[in-house]
Structures are given as C-alpha cells and as structure tokens.
Amino acid sequence: MLRVERICCLRRQKVGARLSTIHIKGPARLSGEISIQGSKNAVLPMMAAAILHKGITVLTNVPMIQDVDCMVSILNYIGCRCNRKGSTVEIDGTEIECAQIPDHFVSQMRSSIIVLGALLGRVGEGESRYPGGCLIGARPIDIHLQVLECLGARILEEDGQITARASAGGLVGAEIRLRYPSVGATEQALLAGVLARGMTIVYGAAREPEIGQLCDCLNRMGARVRGAGTGILVIEGVEELRDSRFAVRGDRIVAGTYLSAVMAAGGKAWLKEVRPGELELPLNLMQQAGAVIRRDEVQEEIFISMNQRPGGLLLETGPYPAFPTDLQSPFMAFLAAGDGESRIREQVFEGRFATAEELKRMGGRIYTEGREAVIQGIYPLIAGRVTARDLRGGAALAVAALAAEGETVIEDCRHVERGYEDLCRDLRALGAQAYWG
C-alpha cells in the first residue's frame, strides 16, 4: 500500500464564515434579469475528482461561495495547489502529501466526505471524521462506507473517526447496489471507481443532473463512465487520467430560489445560464400555481411572469426527477404568501421543516406533523426578525420577506453564504430592496 506521510499538522488552515444578517423591505414587485451562478452541488465533487489526476484540472464558472472556499482549503491541505482567478479554479494534483481531512473542514461541510473516495483511488487510504453541515436531518453516511467496502476498502470507525484503506493492489471494481439513490454515495462510487482495477457497476444510482455533470467531467479527464441520467452507472477503471478543462453548468437550485422570489413578490424575470429541463417539475408546479413560464433550452434561459397570488399546490419531495428537497423551503415560503391551501410531504430530510417555525413568526399559517406540512396562504406576511436555520431555509426566508409588510431581518446568514454568491446582489438586480447588515 502506498503510504502518505503525515505532514498534515503543518497546514492548519481554517475557513471562517462571518456572522451576517440580511435586510429586505417588502412587499416588492420584481422585474429584471440575472445570470445564474455555477452549480454548488456539481462543482464540489468535480474539485474532489481533481485529486485523482497527477496533473492539472481546470474548472470554469465556479461559484464564489464558502463551500467552494472550504474545498479549496481541503485540497491545499492535502497537497494540491489551487489557483483561483475569478470564476476559474486551476487545481494541480501532482503531489498528494496528506490523506487526512482535518476536523475543522469536515465540521463545516458535509460533502467533504466524498474526498475519501478520491483519496482511496489515488493513494490507497484516507481519514476523516463524521461530517457536519446544515442540520436538516440525520443523513447517515453508512451507505458511503458500504460503497467503499464493496470496492475492497477496509473501514475502521472509532470515536467518530473514519479510517479507510485499500489492499496492496488498490481498489477493485465490483457490483454496487445502493439501497437508496443517494447523490453522495453515487459520487463516492464514481470517484473511487475511476482508478479501480476492472469494472464497477452501480445499481440504483442517483439520476440528478449534478451526477451527469460529474460523469461528463470525469470522462473529459479520461475516465470511462457510461449511464449518466439512468439508474445504472458503468465505470471501467483506467490507469491514469489527463489534464482537462470543464465548465460548470448553472445552479438549478439557485435558479429555483429566484423563481420562487418572483412567485412570492409578483412581477417578471429572465434567468440566464440555466437549463430549464433540469427544473421541469418545479416549473410545471409554478405554472399550476398561476405563473407564466417560457423555457428556452437552446439559449438556456427561463422567463417567469406572476401577476396574481400563488394558488395552492400538492407536492412531495424525492430523488430526481421528483421534486428536489432543496427547493421545498423556497416553495413553502411563496405558498405561505399565496391564496389557498397547500400540502407538502418531505420524503428526503426529516429536518427540512425547521424553516416553517420561522415562517410562522412572519404570520405564516403552517401546520406540520411528522413529514407533512399544511399551508394556508395569507398575504401580506408580517416583517420581523427571523433566523436562517439552514442554507435553503435562509434563502426561503428572503423569498418570504418579499411578500411581507415592512423590513425583515434574517439573522445567522452564514448558512446562506455557503451556497449563494450574493443573495442580496441578485435580488437587487430584480428590483428588490435587499442588503447585508
């Protein structure tokens, strides 16, 4: 087994999130045009994939968000050299000097766990703690560890510390059957399987567009991956990868957030650099609630116009192509300011209804029991002081503030900065009065 020298203690870098507040004056009516930032959920595993290559990986249209900053710090810590110029990140993975992901990175960002698979594939070992991130549910990682075990890794868990080691010959391709189409576990299988000996077949793989982007990126690097967009991925192991350049597509969840803002506030907006097909079900539901939507797949644009209060909806979250759990909170926000009764069933993360309590403080009539929420629309909502409980929940409160009378102050917006380049900047581009406090 290739042993990586433990020089990690020399690289104690910390990524600190500033404690911020967002101020939004409502009610507002929106009108404007914005370009959607690169996808957070796509770029993070692509950055981890750079570990697999003993050379240069260049990613463009990379969002300037805290989670990307955290991943850059992780890569630098283990020995990669990252050079960032605006929205372009160049990663030199020639040398990997450390296979341990330090605690202060893991506690900030749950997706750091996918680095384990890349380290196993590259150097045959990796260490991490159980990850942190938003408190939206249990999100067990045992499925991640089972993926690595299927490929021949030995896993040791002790006091929250995870140590994974491959055999002397490295990882070996295998058949992996996921009990749930987990995005993270599918990414883990892809990153660990690319350099494994033989063929890896993943049954029950996640079908999210971000998985498709990762497959495209890996193939650009010289990997052999087939089946993106289906429930079965086939990975033919290769001996090495090559230098590559890849453009990250627009973030469908950020786009969905700003579409929700128009639903809550009324008005119209043009969203550019996002693929409408990746938001098919949310767009259909917005039309059902009263919006006029125009899609342009060729130009990658979405136009939305909303001239009435949103009507009631029934929706249930689930793995793609079902309704995305990351948009459940923004939808709840505009439905709270709508007209009629809506019902939401959360089937992915049991903690996603934490934002409902904050919406109630704004006058929202929301009743939750278990995984179900009933929303009785009322307009306008009441401005006040609320707290961002998680990333998407914080953005949802900004959506609700656009339909509230007066100034809403959203506290603890460090979560929002993890996934949105500048929420206030984008809302101002649509005509809202939004600023950081």
Any idea which residues carry the catalytic annotation? 134
Of residues 294, 246, 325, the one with CA closest to residue 38: 246
Q: Which two tokens stand for residue 283?
A: 């767009």
**Structure-model confidence comparison of residues 19 and 294, the more confident one:** 294
Lowest mean pLDDT among 4-18, 83-97, 309-323: 4-18
- Give the chain's length: 437
Burial code of 27-61, b = ≥16 C-beta within 10 A, e = fewer? bbbbebebebbbbbbbbbbbbbbbbbbeebbbbeb
Instruction: Indicate if the pLDDT at residue 138 is higher than 70.
Output: no
pLDDT of residue 101: 87
Instruction: Indicate if the pLDDT at residue 436 is higher than 90.
Output: yes
Which tens digits make up the pLDDT trace of 148-157? 999 999 999 8
Instruction: Indicate if the pLDDT at residue 15 is higher than 80.
Output: no
Instruction: Indicate if the pLDDT at residue 134 is higher than 80.
Output: no
Annotated binding site for UDP-N-acetyl-alpha-D-glucosamine: 110, 326, 348
Instruction: Indicate if the pLDDT at residue 351 is higher than 80.
Output: no
Following DSSP, what letter does each residue of 96-151 receive, concatenated?
----B--HHHHTT-GGGGGHHHHHHHHHSEEEEEPP----S-----HHHHHHHHHT
Instruction: Indicate if the pLDDT at residue 369 is higher than 70.
Output: yes
Band (pLDDT 50/70/90 cuts) for residue 140 is: low
Question: The domain 23-35+250-436 is classified under which CATH number: 3.40.50.2300, 3.65.10.10, 3.40.190.10, 1.20.1260.10?
Answer: 3.65.10.10
pLDDT of residue 135: 45
Cα–Cα dist 333/375, whole Å: 10
pLDDT of residue 411: 96
- Considering Cα of 392, then 318, then 186, then 54, what sign does the dihedral take? negative
3-state secondary structure of 220: helix
Annotated binding site for phosphoenolpyruvate: 40-41
Q: In the chain, where are the structural domains located?
A: 23-35+250-436, 38-247
Mean pLDDT of the chain: 92
Examine domains 23-35+250-436 and 38-247 and report if their fold is the same.
Answer: yes
Query: Taking the mean position of all CA atoms in its chain, how far away is CA 317?
Result: 15
Instruction: Indicate if the pLDDT at residue 287 is higher than 60.
Output: yes
Instruction: Indicate if the pLDDT at residue 13 is higher than 60.
Output: no
Of residues 42, 380, 398, the one with CA closest to residue 211: 42
Which tens digits make up the pLDDT trace of 225-271? 999 999 999 999 999 999 999 999 999 999 999 999 999 999 999 99
Architecture of domain 38-247: Alpha-beta prism (3.65)
What is the value of pTM for the model shown?
0.94
Query: Average of pLDDT values for 65-74?
Result: 94
Identify the burial level of 177 via C-beta atoms within 10 angstroms of its C-beta, where 0-12 means exposed, 13-18 middle and 19 or more buried.
exposed
Band (pLDDT 50/70/90 cuts) for residue 132 is: low
Query: Taking CA 107 as the corner, what is the angle to CA 103 and CA 110, rounded to the nearest 5 degrees?
Result: 120
